[in-house]
Amino acid sequence: MSAVRDLLRGNARQYGMVMALLAIVVLFEILTGGLLLRPLNITNLIMQNSYVLILAIGMMLVIITGHIDLSVGSIVAFVGALSAVMLTSWGLPVWAVVPAALLAGALIGAWQGFWVAYVRIPSFIVTLAGMLIFRGATMVVLGGESVGPLPDSLRALGSGYVPDVVDAEVHVLTLLLGALSSAALVWSQWRGRVRSAGHGLPVSSRGLFWARAAATAVVVNAFACVLAVHNGIPVVGVLLVALIVVFSFVMNTTVAGRHVYAVGGNEKAAMLSGVKTRQTTFWVFVTMGALSALAGLVFMARLNAATPRAGTMFELDAIAAAFIGGASAAGGVGTVIGAVVGALVMGVMNNGMSLIGLGVDWQQGIKGLVLLAAVAFDIYNKNRVGPRRGGRDRSGAGGGGRLPAEEPPERAPTAAM
C-alpha cells in the first residue's frame, strides 16, 4: 500500500488533473443523460478542440520558459489566410502549401523570438504587438472577406477520417491501431522498468506495474472501440497523438527539453550552467509559431474557408488550458500531458454546457471560475506541502517593498548580471 501512496505523493498534481477531468466527464455524462460519451460526440470533441490542443502544447513550452504568447490566435488567422490565397488564387498544390504555411509560422515565431530573447522586450508586449500586426495582416491578405472553398485533400486535415483497410460494420483499422498502441505503451513502460532495475534503481512492485498496464490497455482500447463504432479515427486525431508523443519525448528526455525547463526555472543559474538561454527562448518561440501555423491549417480545413475573424480568443483558450494543466506563471513547471488534459477540461466543459443548453454568457463565466479555482488549488497545495521556496519569490505579489526581516547577516551583494 505504501507504494501506492508514494506514487500518489510524487505525482499528486498529475493525478489530480486527470481526476478532475474524469469528474467533469462523469458530471456532464450524467447531466446530458449520456449524450457526452456517444461515439459521434466524442469524435466531435476531438475535432472541435484539435486546434486549441495544438496551441496548448506550444503554449505550455512558452509558459515553461517563463513567457507568454498572445499572438497565436492572430497567427492562426494569418497563416490560414495566406494558405487559402495560395490554394485558391495562386492555385498551388496542397503538398506545397502545407510546408510553406508551416515555414511562414516558424518565421513569424522567429521574428517574435528575436525581440523577446535577444532584445529582451517582455514577451507580453512583443506578442501583444504580434496579435495586432497579424490580425491586421490577415485582413489585408483576405481583403476583409472569407476565402473558400478549399480542395478536398486539405479539408481531410480538419474533418476527414483515416480510411479503413476492409469494408465492415466497424472501423477495423481503428481497433487494430488501438491494440497496437496500447501494446506499444505497455512495452515501453516495461522496458523502462527493466532498464531501471538493471541499474539497481528502485521500481514499483510488479503487481502495481501490471495493474497500471492493464488500466492503460483498457482505456486505450475502449477509446478505440468508441471511435470504431462511428467513422474511425479522425485524421487530426492521428496528428494530435503524434504531436503529444513527440513533444512529451522532447521535453522529458532530451537535452533541449531540459534546457527549456532550466531557463524557466532559474535563468541565471541556467546561464551559469552553460545553457544558451537566449537561443533556447528563441527556438521555443519558433516552435510556437510553427504550431500556430499548423493549428491555422487545421482550423481553416475544418471551416472550409479562411475568414478574417478566425482564431479570435484562441490564445486565451490555450493559455487557460496550460494553467489548468499545471503550468506555473513563474515558469519552469508544467508538462505536455498537462496541457492536453487542461485543454480537454476546457473542451469537455464547452461541449457539455452546450449540450445541456447553457448560454454562451454562462459558459464564459463558469470557465473563468474553473481557471481561477485550478490555479488557486495549485498555489494552496504548494504552500501546504513542504517548506516554502526560500529566498525566491517569483509570484510577483508584494515582493518589492518587503523589509529583509530575518535574513542572515551581511550578505554580499549579488553581482549584477
Q: Note the residues at the interface with another protein (CB under 8 A).
A: 10, 192, 195-196, 198-202, 252-256, 258, 261-262, 265-266, 268-276, 328, 332-333, 386-387, 389-392, 403-406, 408-410, 412-417
Cα(251)–Cα(246) distance, rounded to whole angstroms? 9
The distance from CA 70 to its chain's CA centroid, rounded to whole angstroms, is 15
Q: Is the Cβ–Cβ distance between 76 and 292 less than 8 Å?
A: yes
Burial class, 82, CB count within 10 angstroms (exposed 0-12 / middle 13-18 / buried 19+)? buried
Taking the complex as a whole, the smallest distance from the CB of residue 192 to another protein amounts, in Å, to: 7
Of 212 and 278, nearer to another protein (C-beta) is 278
Of 153 and 252, nearer to another protein (C-beta) is 252
Q: Is the Cβ–Cβ distance between 242 and 193 less than 8 Å?
A: no
Cα(279)–Cα(142) distance, rounded to whole angstroms? 34
Of 44 and 266, nearer to another protein (C-beta) is 266
Taking the complex as a whole, the smallest distance from the CB of residue 63 to another protein amounts, in Å, to: 14
Taking the complex as a whole, the smallest distance from the CB of residue 385 to another protein amounts, in Å, to: 10
Taking the complex as a whole, the smallest distance from the CB of residue 270 to another protein amounts, in Å, to: 7
Taking the complex as a whole, the smallest distance from the CB of residue 223 to another protein amounts, in Å, to: 27
Of 38 and 394, nearer to another protein (C-beta) is 394
Of 167 and 410, nearer to another protein (C-beta) is 410
Taking the complex as a whole, the smallest distance from the CB of residue 406 to another protein amounts, in Å, to: 7
Task: Looking at 325-359, list the stretches that DSSP marks H as alpha helix, in order from N- to C-terminal side.
Answer: 336-355
Supply 180's cell numbers.
497496437
Buried-exposed string 183-205: b where 16+ CB fall within 10 A, e elsewhere: eebbeeeeeebeeeeeeeeeeee
Residue from 321, 226, 170, 251 nearest 34 by CA: 226
Of 38 and 278, nearer to another protein (C-beta) is 278
Of 113 and 265, nearer to another protein (C-beta) is 265
Write the single-letter amino acid at 18: V
Taking the complex as a whole, the smallest distance from the CB of residue 329 to another protein amounts, in Å, to: 13
Residue from 117, 139, 135 nearest 126 by CA: 117
Contacts for 321 with CB less than 8 Å, ≥ 6 apart: 52, 53, 56, 59, 339, 342, 343, 345, 346
